[in-house]
Structure 1
């Protein structure tokens, strides 16, 4: 079985807004799992890696953008567990620190134009149809096995929570958390913040992974800031202020939008006093490397 020991604590956050609104806020520090397999990345890769090993596969084939934390995590996991890795990169050929790290871990990269990139199964079949040792991993790790890995977070929790809040890109993490809540028969409300424009698709993405939609799921659709990896001066200022006040590093693509959403909901009194809230830190901090210029004063 492919696994490794990790510790992901629940850390209480002190903030004047939380005291004012009389709520307790904790953060699940999945960013501490591993420098490159951090956040939800290990959770989403754990069972696909086990399945690849069970099937006798030698090569992991996956997909992502030029700053993809998923590509980097897969490259690292391949090196750690003895798989070769290959990444299809969306868009024109570029060099950046994340892709250099992928290469350092041994991942081979192929840049694909955005039109061709849309058909990921087609790309896999075009290049690896005759390679019986190749194993397909979708963009962001999206799969039922990824959701299964993410569902295990619920059984790890040391406290009970009225709300669990997570950012969402593909929907796999949200699906897993909802599945875990359902399996534990909790009344916890899952607040999901899609980071892409038109995030209503997350409901279908969750259902497509075999997880039943119910009243415990709420999508907060107003915090995408223009779309994936898009930012505004307001969001950048929030990320800076939150990091400086709490000592917890967040980034504008995922966890920054999540934390902003919670603060906005509290300021609008959309969460009742006396609630205990858990934020899920999904890692992805290497993505900051491509955004540091946005933080210039």
Structure 2
């Protein structure tokens, strides 16, 4: 699906936005691009998809939606979670369970070794998607996105998308060497991000990591994140509350040129994040 492009004004500066958030309520944004190859895989080729990570994960929800569409079993491994998370009736984890995801908790002491052993004795009808959708198969979906951007014929040569594992930003930069691709680390620091991306491919020169001015902990509420998210909401485009704020702040502080922001989707997680902001007294 070729998503549209919108123009917004943020604090007096114009930006273009590639509206990948409009592709599907759950299977949208960079997760749609990462899962493009699997979405186009015949349903009878696989029976089970396995992944792992956190319960706030947008990838988790997108994989659950894909598996329901394809008729595949989805098993998702996490470290132990609290009762409050299990009882929630909003957010990505809740929706993924409703899409028939099978959730399995692994004790902290065994988690790393268990994840490392997942590929042992793997059968041909089971496919593993590493945390955040970081798989080589994601490249094809980013090639399709790259062609859509070229076909739009915008007078823009800089792109931006936030990073967890950096898979989207990396493959987008590889597919579009004539563009600058900005990203910012939203999980860990810049060195962690480089390590994650380097496990898939050498980093190209046109991939530029904008480091946040201060250290932020993943998925925690911050006043400045809420402020810029609310400013963006005025543009009539809703962005996610975990990844997008850090990227937009970095773009405002560290860039000046015209930029096309690739919307990562993930807005389904906002209901649970808004609840946390209210509990903190920020709203």
Q: TM-score of the superposition, structure 1-length normalised?
A: 0.82
Contact persistence 2:52–2:77 (CA under 8 A):
yes
Say if 1:262 and 1:167 are closer, same or farther in 2 by CA, change over 3 A: same
Corresponding position of 2:195: 204
Match of 1:196, SS state, is coil
Contact persistence 1:144–1:210 (CA under 8 A):
no
Corresponding position of 2:103: 109
2:137 equivalent to 1:145? yes
Structure 1 residue corresponding to 2:7, chosen from 9, 12, 21 = 12
Corresponding position of 2:208: 218
- For residues 7-62 of structure 1, the C-alpha deviation after alignment (integer angstroms, 9 at most, x for no partner) is 411111123421xxxxx4101111111000011111111224556x4993211111
Structure 1 segments, 4+ long, off by >4 Å, are none
Corresponding position of 2:226: 236
Contact persistence 2:78–2:104 (CA under 8 A):
yes
2:85 equivalent to 1:78? no
Contact persistence 2:225–2:245 (CA under 8 A):
yes
User: For 1:149 and 1:220, how far apart are their aligned partners in 2?
Assistant: 24
Say if 1:130 and 1:177 are closer, same or farther in 2 by CA, change over 3 A: closer
Gap runs ≥5 in structure 1? 1-5, 19-23
RMSD: 2.4
Gap runs ≥5 in structure 2? none
User: For 1:55 and 1:124, how far apart are their aligned partners in 2?
Assistant: 22
Match of 1:289, SS state, is helix
Deviation at 1:131, TM superposition (A): 5.1
Match of 2:240, SS state, is coil
Match of 1:118, SS state, is helix
2:273 equivalent to 1:291? yes
User: For 1:59 and 1:241, how far apart are their aligned partners in 2?
Assistant: 41
Q: List aligned pairs for 1:123-142, cutoff 5 A.
A: 124=118, 129=121, 132-142=124-134
Structure 2 residue corresponding to 1:66, chosen from 55, 58, 61 = 55
**Number of aligned positions between the proteins:** 271
Say if 1:137 and 1:219 are closer, same or farther in 2 by CA, change over 3 A: same
Corresponding position of 2:186: 195
Contact persistence 2:79–2:108 (CA under 8 A):
yes
Match of 2:26, SS state, is coil
Say if 1:223 and 1:165 are closer, same or farther in 2 by CA, change over 3 A: farther
Say if 1:228 and 1:120 are closer, same or farther in 2 by CA, change over 3 A: farther
Match of 2:252, SS state, is helix
Match of 1:144, SS state, is coil
Deviation at 1:223, TM superposition (A): 5.4
Q: TM-score of the superposition, structure 2-length normalised?
A: 0.86
Q: List aligned pairs for 1:226-265, cutoff 5 A.
A: 226-243=216-233, 245-265=234-254
User: For 1:260 and 1:33, how far apart are their aligned partners in 2?
Assistant: 25
User: For 2:273 and 2:93, how far apart are their aligned partners in 1?
Assistant: 15
Contact persistence 1:194–1:224 (CA under 8 A):
no
Deviation at 1:211, TM superposition (A): 4.5
